[in-house]
Amino acid sequence: MSVGITMRHRAALGLPALLASLLLACSPEQVQWQLGLPSSRTGFVVLTVEPRGGYLDAVLKGPNFNLRTFLPDTEDCRQVMMPEAEVQYLEGHPGGSFQRGDVTCDSAGIGSLAEWRNRRVRVSGPPQPRAQATFRRTISDNDVIFVRGRFPLTPLVGWSSFGDTVVVLPNTPSCQRRADAGVGSLEFRQSGDDPLILVGADEPCPLIGLLRPLPTDSTAR
């Protein structure tokens, strides 16, 4: 999202100054999205939807930015996430909910992790903190790999994992090797397109989605 003020500046600006800066730089819907106020709404248009291991992997066009999100692959969510449909994002549920007409679908996870990081206050401490992540590979397709486990730095992008998160990785040689290893050094970055990255001697492997495990554990196959 290319705006001059992000939520990392909340600590430096008073609320009146922050609101004034956002109103000058953004559309009203962008302001609502950036502030993340309870019960606020943001309009999106569904661009693509791909079923993946019990989830729907959707990309939506918003006010001057695209948002990737993950939802359970249910009848209601399929009704909401139809390509070219106009939907409303509802703040409140972790990762938000999406509504189309009278049908609402609660998200199962978040993508576009830089967008979620930028809604938060910049944290103090090391600019690129690291922690050990432990996980097991579950399923994959031509595009992505699912792993499930413990990823300690996810709260820095606003995700509460409770020690058990399904993570989506790009299906690249580097990420394949890390998925098979089952352990890696996770790094958080305050800027750039990829806030959470598995790093090491190999090419970096960015995390592209953080998901809640499904009740039926579809990703455990």
Residue 159: how many CA atoms within 13 Å on its side-chain side? 32
Mean pLDDT of 137-155: 96
What digits encode the pLDDT tens for the residues 16-63? 554 444 444 466 776 777 776 777 889 999 999 999 999 999 999 998
Residues 141 and 211 in one domain: yes
Residues 208 and 146 in one domain: yes
Q: Which structural domain range is residue 67 located in?
A: 39-110
Residues 95 and 150 in one domain: no
- In the predicted model, is pLDDT for residue 160 greater than 90? no
Q: Angle 207-119-29 (CA atoms, 0-180°, nearest 5)?
A: 115
Q: How many domains does the chain have?
A: 3
Per-residue model confidence (pLDDT) at position 2: 40
Per-residue model confidence (pLDDT) at position 121: 67
In a domain, 84, yes or no: yes
Residues 71 and 99 in one domain: yes
Cα separations (Å) of 175 from 51, 128, 182?
21, 20, 11
In a domain, 120, yes or no: no
Q: CB-based contacts of 38: which residues, under 8 Å, 6+ apart? A: 91, 92
Per-residue model confidence (pLDDT) at position 26: 61
One-letter amino acid for residue 110 of the chain: I
Q: What percent of the chain has pLDDT over 90?
A: 66
Q: Which two tokens stand for residue 128?
A: 């690129």
In a domain, 203, yes or no: yes
Picking from 176, 168, 201, 200, the residue whose alpha carbon sits closest to that of residue 187 is 200
